[in-house]
Structures are given as C-alpha cells and as structure tokens.
Chain A
Amino acid sequence: MHNISFRRRFVNFLGIGAIVGATLVVLMPLFLIMGTVIYRGIGSITWAFFTRIPQPVGETGGGMANAIVGTAMIMGVAALIGIPLGVGSGIYLAEYGRNASGNIVRFTADVLNGIPSIVIGITVYALVVLIQHHFSLLAGGIALGIMMIPTVCRTTEEVLLMVPQSVREAALGLGIPQWRTTLSVVVPSAASGIITSIMLACARVAGETAPLLFTAFGNQFWNLKLNQPTAALPLQIFAYAISPYEEWHRMAWAGALVLILSIMATVILVRFATSRGMLKGAH
C-alpha cells in the first residue's frame, strides 16, 4: 500500500465517502416523508374517517369513506381495462413478437409509459367526458387503466420469456395447439410473476391524481354510479391540501397516511413474497 501516493489515497477516501454520503441523502427524504405523514396523519385516523363522508367547513368529524370507496371502484374499472390488455399484449410480445412488428409494439408501449399522466387525463376527457357530457367514475377508471397497460405488458413479456423454450416444445410436441400451450402451460408457469407485475402496477396507479382531475373529478358525496363524478383518495388529498382550512389539512394528512400505507404494504408484501419464493417469476 505504501507505494500508492498520498494524493490517490486521499481521492479514494473522498470518492468513497461521497458515495456513502449520497446514499444517506437519498434515503433521507423517504424517512422524512414517511415520518411527517405518520406524525401528522395518525391523530386524525378515527373510525369516522373510514365511515363518514366529508363535512362542510367549520364542522368537525367528517371522513373520507366516499373517497376510499371511490378509489376502490376506479381501480376496479382500471383493472378491468389494464390487466387484460396489458397481459394480452405481453403475451403477444413474448409468444409472437420476436420480430420487427413486436419491436414496434415494444417501443410504443415504452412511449405510452413515458406519456405524462396529465396528458392521458386530457385525452380521456376529450374522448369520454365530452361525449358523456359529464365527469365520471368510468372516465377515471379508463384513464388509470390506460396507465396500467404498459407496465403490465412489459413485465408480463419479461416473465413469460423466462419460461424455458423446452416447456413450450414439450407441449407442442404432444399435439397441444399453440393457444392451449400458451394459456395452459406457459402462462401458469409464469403466473406468479404476472401477478407481481399486476399488483405493482395497481399500487403505482392507485396514487395517481393528475389523470383523475378532469375525469373522475371528485365528489363531496357518495357515488356508486359509473357515469357520475366520483371522489377518490388522491383527489381529496389534493383538494384539502390546497384549501385554506386547518381542519381540512388534517384530513389531507390522514388521507395521505391511509393511501401511502396501503401502497407501501402492497409493494412490501409483493417483494417479500417474491424473495421467499411464494411468488416468483418462472424458473
């Protein structure tokens, strides 16, 4: 070691130190944000929060029940659109798309993944809201569903490609038609990977606000109808956060806590299950 110059040792020390420091700085916001959300939100988590709808300004004791149910319903619609189209196009890419047209679809999916969510919001506004003549749960679900497609598609492709070619050959060699081979042999072998990707995609879009602004729009009251404006947790948090009322700020933090915990629980659960081999992409 003694023939390494002092300058090089010093630079090495600085460089490694900077890397460790950078990692600590990157982790700081996570803990700061989590800490703040828990600290400021926990006090307002009451039974009423989950069972009541928002109260007018000045009255206390309201909740976000309608927004929680709204988010669940919007996610339901989104899943109905995003999962079949995402998994279907993922199957296309893995089983039929090893060619130029597959590359075009692949590139388009990556483009869709990069389109800002607010732009998707405008498009769904123009295509659904303008035609229905009002904001609606359906429009919100469509917007989020579109956002799910590229993520589900690309990860489905990835896990299907991990299924060995020999498994496909075995099935084809038995005279099982291609579609049956794909659906009953290949997809089940990759099922856990596909489920993982779907859950992560859901967790990702569940917190989206921008595409809901002019689709689901928000609602202070209950709505369970597909063609009516609907409250959603992120929308409600946004509305409360930018309001001037102290009481509403507290509700925003409580909403944030519920939202962040459900999303993180999903992510951690999926990752934990993946690492334990309960859910894994095929062999």
Chain B
Amino acid sequence: MDPGIRVQELNAWFGGTQALHDIGLEIPSRQVTAIIGPSGCGKSTFVRCLNRMHETLPNATVKGKVTISGLDIYGKGVSPVTVRRRIGMVFQKPNPFPTMSIYDNVAAGLKLNGFSNRRQLDEVVQRSLEGAALWDEVKDIMKKKSGASLSGGQQQRLCIARALAIEPEIMLMDEPASALDPISTSKIEDLIFQLKQQFTIVIVTHNMQQAARVADLTGFFLMGKLIELDKTEKMFTNPSDKRTEDYITGRFG
C-alpha cells in the first residue's frame, strides 16, 4: 500500500473567490514535499484540501480529485472524519486543547473516538511523545500540567505528538515553525527529518531556506496555481520556470 497522494484537477473557492486553479500533482510517499510561494498564493488552502479541512471554513468549497491509496477522498460516501484520521495535521499556531493535560492532549484523538484501554493509551502517549522528541521534557508533569503551560516550541511538538498518536500515514504541516524561535524551529526541522522515515510529509513554508533544508521535493505556488514541482535541489539551482526563478532569486539574492 502506497500512501502517496495524487491530486487531479483540484479547485477550491472561498465564496465567490477561487483560491486554487486546476492543481494536479503527485506527492511521493515517505518523502518531504515542501510547498512554497508568496502569501495568499493558496499554499495553505492546498494542504487543507488534502485532508478535507478546507471545507470546514464558512463558504469554502472544493472540486476535484485527491487520491490516497486508490481512494478519492472527495468521492461519494467518503466521510471527511475518516480521511482526517488517516492524515495528521499540524497548524501554523500551536493549538493544544486548553482544558486538557499534556497527556490528555496526546490521547485526545483516541480517547474522543471511544478508545479507552488505559495501558495501551499509556503506551501510545509515550511513543508519540518520544516520536515528537518531547517525552524527556514532560514525562514527569504530563498528567498534572495543561498543554497551554508549555513554551511555544514545546506546544508545537505536543501538537505533533497529538497528531502522531492517531497513527496517520500522511502528515500535513502548515507553516509549523513560523510562530517559533530559531532553536525551536531547528528542533522541529530535526523532527521532520526523522518522521519522514515513516510518514509522507507535506510542509507549507514561507521560508525558502527551510524548504531547502528539509524537503526532498518542492512545489512553487503562485496565485492559486502550481507553477512547478521538482526535486528541491533542482528547484533552487535550476528551476525550469521563469517565475520560479524570479521568486527564488528575489528572495535569496
């Protein structure tokens, strides 16, 4: 089973404004694919279409085909809830559940779906926190302290742990480090590096150095259109589209 993502003729709207135009691309499994582009180019909207989060916003609509393991997630009868369980998501701003402890935050995805085996939950929580490189920092306080009491960088890793706990195959990250300081950012980047051994990762970033550091592939979006998608190295040294080059050189040099 290959949890890569194939996107065909994807269009998305906010009310009457079209945010994505005819996007088509393939995201390979167990690699990091970065999406770059100027703000408002639709890169966030694009990843939010990959796990059907886009449609939770008021007046937001989607049309097109996104295929994961042979299933069109926008197909008839496919529940968005089921899709989101397979695809974890980390948001721009760390958003731990304010009323829950650290432990409950990580366990939330399973607990709130009715999974209540204590011993197994303990294991899942530990494994997820380890996976997010947060275990050592919180193992003694995780049942007493609320998720909101952690620092920004820790909160973001908590959110990653929370997403890991539901055992997704794909991980979407929407500018996961943009609200963080440089040290926390580098921790998140190290983490992305480790996670790609098990997950397909799509990361949106406005920071091109970050894309260059972590991504295997990079896609460039401009005004709701995919301009090009290629190996990161090629994208940053020898892009085939003039607009990509303009954008990249404009920023780098």
From A164, A175, A178, A283, contact of B109 by CB (8 A): A175
Binds A, one of B12-20, B95-103, B185-193: B95-103
Specify which chain A residues have a CB less than 8 angstroms from the CB of B84 in the assembled complex: 172-175
Q: With both chains docked as a complex, state the minimum distance between the C-beta of B109 and any C-beta of chain A, in angstroms.
A: 4
Quick one: given A169-B53, A184-B112, are A174 and B163 in contact (CB under 8 Å)? yes
Cβ contact within 8 Å between A170 and B95? yes
Cβ contact within 8 Å between B166 and A174? yes
B237 within 8 A of partner (CB): no
Specify which chain B residues have a CB less than 8 angstroms from the CB of A60 in the assembled complex: none
Distance of A263 Cα from B230 Cα, bound (Å): 69
A171 within 8 A of partner (CB): yes
B91 within 8 A of partner (CB): yes
B117 within 8 A of partner (CB): no
From A177, A185, A191, contact of B97 by CB (8 A): A185
Contact with B along A215-234 (1 / 0, CB 8 A): 00000000000000000000
Q: Which B residue sits closest to A174, measured CB to CB?
A: B109
Interface size on B, residues (CB 8 A): 27
Q: With both chains docked as a complex, state the minimum distance between the C-beta of B166 and any C-beta of chain A, in angstroms.
A: 6
Cβ contact within 8 Å between A180 and B113? yes
Cβ contact within 8 Å between B85 and A172? no
Distance of A31 Cα from B91 Cα, bound (Å): 54
Cβ contact within 8 Å between A164 and B113? no
A109 within 8 A of partner (CB): no
Contact with B along A95-109 (1 / 0, CB 8 A): 000100000000000
Distance of A175 Cα from B82 Cα, bound (Å): 6
Contact with B along A161-196 (1 / 0, CB 8 A): 000101111111111111011001100110100000
Distance of A158 Cα from B82 Cα, bound (Å): 31
Q: Which A residue sits closest to B56, measured CB to CB?
A: A172
Cβ contact within 8 Å between B98 and A174? no
Which of A170, A174, A180, A181 has the most chain B CB atoms inside 10 A of its CB? A174
Q: With both chains docked as a complex, state the minimum distance between the C-beta of A189 and any C-beta of chain B, in angstroms.
A: 5
Q: With both chains docked as a complex, state the minimum distance between the C-beta of B193 and any C-beta of chain A, in angstroms.
A: 22
Specify which chain A residues have a CB less than 8 angstroms from the CB of B1 in the assembled complex: none
Q: Which A residue sits closest to B81, measured CB to CB?
A: A177
Distance of A152 Cα from B95 Cα, bound (Å): 28
Q: With both chains docked as a complex, state the minimum distance between the C-beta of A160 and any C-beta of chain B, in angstroms.
A: 13
Q: Which A residue sits closest to B96, measured CB to CB?
A: A170
From B56, B81, B91, B97, contact of A189 by CB (8 A): B97
Specify which chain B residues have a CB less than 8 angstroms from the CB of A122 in the assembled complex: none
Cβ contact within 8 Å between A174 and B108? yes
From B86, B95, B163, B166, contact of A169 by CB (8 A): B95
User: Which of chain B's residues 143-178 have a Cβ closer than 8 Å to chain A?
Assistant: 159, 162-163, 166
Specify which chain B residues have a CB less than 8 angstroms from the CB of A181 in the assembled complex: 112
B89 within 8 A of partner (CB): yes
Q: Which residues of B contact A (CB under 8 A)?
A: 51, 53, 56, 58, 81-86, 88-89, 91, 93, 95-99, 108-109, 112-113, 159, 162-163, 166
Known: A166-B93, A174-B162. 6 other contacts (CB 8 A): A169-B56, A172-B84, A174-B163, A175-B83, A180-B113, A283-B98
Q: Which residues of A contact B (CB under 8 A)?
A: 98, 164, 166-178, 180-181, 184-185, 188-189, 191, 282-283
A and B contact pairs by CB, cutoff 8 A, 19 listed: A166-B91, A169-B95, A170-B97, A170-B159, A172-B56, A172-B84, A173-B51, A174-B84, A174-B88, A174-B112, A174-B163, A174-B166, A175-B113, A175-B166, A176-B112, A176-B113, A180-B112, A181-B112, A282-B98
